[in-house]
Amino acid sequence: MCPTTNVVTKNSSDSPSDTKIPPLPKKPTFDLNLPPTNSDGGNCSKNKRKRESIREESINAAVQKPPVMFTHQGSLIEVKESSPWVKTEFLGQGAYGSVHLAKCNNQERAIKTAHISRALSLMDEGKILRRLQSPFVVGCFGEEIVREGNDFHYNLVLEYCPNGSMGDFLKNVVSLLVEVPVKLFAKDVLSGLKYIHDRNIIHCDIKPDNLLLTMVFDQVLQIDRYLMKLGDFGLALEKGTVAYQNALGHRRGTKRYMAPELLSHGIVDFSVDIWSFGCSFLEMLSGRRVWADYLHLDYDDFVNLIGKSNLVPYVPNFLSAAAQDFLKKCLVKDPHARSGINELLNHPFLRLDV
């Protein structure tokens, strides 16, 4: 027990003679128990070293500053003084910030970077991607906030797909794609959409630029081939969340791939991804931009034409009957009559033996 001290309080009305100082105790009010020592003083030396060690740890603990943490929607992100990822190549620019190829311990990753003041949408993307683990969705390997001078930057660490996007591929292709690889790509993307839809997530921006390619060995087909993955979840929404409720009635996406109900009324549901998927694969199979004859219209005229008329994208008749039917089932104006993912995955077009 700690020794106690009697405190004497002096009032202003008290005279010096009234102040009573307690007498000193005849015996100590505490006992000091020391461990027995060996004749060589070993225990004393050990205890001294132990006390010095504890004292040194206490000093270090007092000097070390607690980590600075940033809070976003209930998640804590530690602010680092430097990043282990070394940026080696600029890959692209977006509304949120920039993308760089980065390396660390012989690993390559794509780093999406934004100034902390403009990073909220990128943080939302990271929150969604951290939940997803599928070969058909670009992988997420974490996030960090890094101090750079007086500024702070948010980094989202993503899987690097070295073969670019389907958008890049279409810009460089010199002839129409044959249907067989397109069938494989369609199965990849539909598998990715099924995976995220089963988790109540709507991508909201399916287009060739957001479909990423990486080379894999297909165990079923026993061949090397490109695997297509869903990327860029910057506009994605999770049904039932506050963000989803706030998004209703507002358009989101890239206009030429946006579903009519999204353009005209801001309706966001799983079916908008099916329409965008149909537009993307129509471009792959036809070699022509969807709505190419109307892209000169200003935004309001385009919305009125595509969102409020009966017009649907033209599906060329040089495609196989199965391909035409597959695309037309994706591009149905009424979202309730539009085919779902399971129906499309079982469509004859996706069979590789026909």
Residue numbers in the known binding site for ATP are 112
Taking the C-alpha atoms of residue 112 and residue 91, their distance in angstroms, rounded to an integer, is 10
Q: Is 129 helix (H, G, I), strand (E, B) or coil?
A: helix
* 342 residue type, one letter: N
Q: Which residues contact 323 (CB under 8 A, 6 or more apart)?
A: 179, 285, 349
Point out the annotated binding site: 112
Cβ-in-10-Å burial (0-12, 13-18, 19+) of 223 comes to: exposed
Angle, vertex CA 311, rays to CA 305 and CA 314, nearest 5:
120
Beta bridge partners of 3: none
Residue 53 backbone dihedrals phi, psi, to 5 degrees: -65, -45
The 3 state secondary structure assigned to 231-294 is CCCCCCEECCCHHHHHHCCCCCCCHHHCCHHHHHHCCCCHHHHHHHHHHHHHHHHHCCCCCHHH
- What is residue 94's DSSP assignment? -
3-state secondary structure of 218: strand
Strands (E), the chain: 69-72, 75-80, 86-93, 98-104, 107-115, 140-148, 151-159, 201-202, 211-218, 223-230, 237-238
Residue 322 CA to residue 344 CA, distance in Å, equals 11
Signed CA dihedral, 49, 54, 57, 59: sign only:
negative
**Alpha carbon distance 223, 339 (integer Å):** 30
**What Å distances lie between residue 274 and 193, 236, 292, CA to CA?**
9, 14, 20
The whole-angstrom separation of Cα 206 and Cα 185 is: 13
